[in-house]
Chains A and B, each alone.
Chain A
Amino acid sequence: MKKIKKIKIRVNGKIKSIPNDYKVSNLLRDINIPLKKVAIELNQEIIDKKKIDKIILKKNDKIEIVHFIGGG
């Protein structure tokens, strides 16, 4: 059975609908970026990358996923 997307969260400023029981690790897989190249903040608090498959996202959660880009 396909999961119904009913929870809205905000990822890097953009609204995203996710199903129940959707973890931070699911999000990282969806975005398709290696974990070792990013840092993740959940509601302004940095989360331990080792624990991302334990954190279930809730309604209105705000996630920031950052990486390094060119800069001076």
Chain B
Amino acid sequence: MKNDKIIIANKKFNSRLIVGTGKYKNMTECAKAIKLSGAEIVTVAVRRVNITDKKKPLLMDYIDPKKITYLPNTAGCFTSEEALRTLRLAREIGGWKLVKLEVLGDKQNLFPDMIETLKSTEVLAKEGFKVMVYCNDDPLMAKRLENAGADAIMPLAAPIGSGLGIQNKINIKIIRKQTKLPLIIDAGLGQASDATIAMELGCDGVLVNTAIAKAKKPFDMALAFKNAVIAGRQSFLAGRINKYLYGNASSPKIGIIK
């Protein structure tokens, strides 16, 4: 396990847990939860600077981008143009090339618009971005994203923020079989065991925001997710037993007293 690192766009990371920085009560809580989670990559959103409130706390003052890799996202973008504009600005802030692309198609279920997502992936890859792509759990679309130059495939477990856990394990397994790219479950996890399941399916990592930020005890949940990802990865690497329909005794049958 010691040398079991996840490689994203030629960069090695020890932690397979990526966490979001949204929905926390405040920046202090957010920073502490991230620390406890052990995450080395955090997603961040690009938004207008508040020009009237000059004392508003800045994310960078709480989470040092030199120590933690910022992964700018395109949350809230519904077209390819909006997403491209957002990520070009993100890159301009300080040279960020590793980005999370997410183009939404529906305001209620927040499912990704895969046609716009695919278009954006092609453009971003050509512009030199390293694109981690939020997508549907559709193996055919995942393949297209890979061909378009994606650096990581990030299928949803369930709708963003729903906490429903992995709904389509079969599709995730098929995507796992077909790609060598980092496969990261993004969105929809509700509790630590969901992360373990993702890792046991062979995923390379998970991305979690709401399940930690909105837990009754976010710090404890951050730690639980950290342990769950490690446990799931160990379990996957250890290799599970075959499933049997009937019982199979664990103690030897010989030498039973009569």
Contacts and interface: CB of A to CB of B under 8 A. Distances in A.
Interface of A: 11-14, 31-33, 36-41, 44, 46, 49, 64-72
Interface string B23-62: 1100100100000000000011111110110100011100
A71 to B, nearest CB: 3
B44 A69 contact: yes
Given A13-B48, A71-B20, A72-B73, 5 more contacts: A31-B51, A39-B93, A67-B58, A68-B93, A72-B207
Contacts of A13: 48
Contacts of A70: 20-24, 27, 30, 44-45, 59
30 contacts: A12-B48, A13-B48, A31-B49, A31-B51, A31-B54, A33-B58, A36-B93, A36-B94, A37-B58, A37-B93, A38-B93, A39-B89, A41-B89, A46-B92, A66-B49, A66-B89, A67-B46, A68-B45, A68-B70, A69-B47, A70-B20, A70-B23, A70-B30, A70-B45, A71-B20, A71-B43, A71-B44, A72-B20, A72-B43, A72-B75
Contacts of B60: 37, 67-68
Interface of B: 20-24, 27, 30, 43-49, 51-52, 54, 58-60, 70, 72-73, 75, 85, 88-94, 160-161, 187, 207, 209-210
Contacts of A33: 49, 54, 58
A64 B92 CA distance: 13
A22 B207 CA distance: 44
Contacts of A12: 48-49, 51
Contacts of A14: 51-52
Given A13-B48, A37-B60, A67-B93, A72 B54 contact: no
Counting chain B CB atoms within 10 Å of each CB, which of A33, A38, A49, A72 scores highest? A72
A69 B73 CA distance: 10
B54 A66 contact: no
Contacts of B94: 36-37
Nearest to A31: B51
Nearest to B45: A71
A12 to B, nearest CB: 4
A70 B210 CA distance: 12
Contacts of A46: 88-89, 92
A39 B44 CA distance: 14
A72 B160 contact: yes
A66 B54 CA distance: 14
Contact of A65 (B20, B51, B70): B51
B50 to A, nearest CB: 8
B47 A67 contact: yes
Given A70-B22, A71-B22, A32 B54 contact: yes
A13 B27 CA distance: 26
Contacts of A64: 48, 89
A38 B90 CA distance: 8
A41 to B, nearest CB: 6
Contacts of B46: 39, 66-69
A36 B89 CA distance: 12
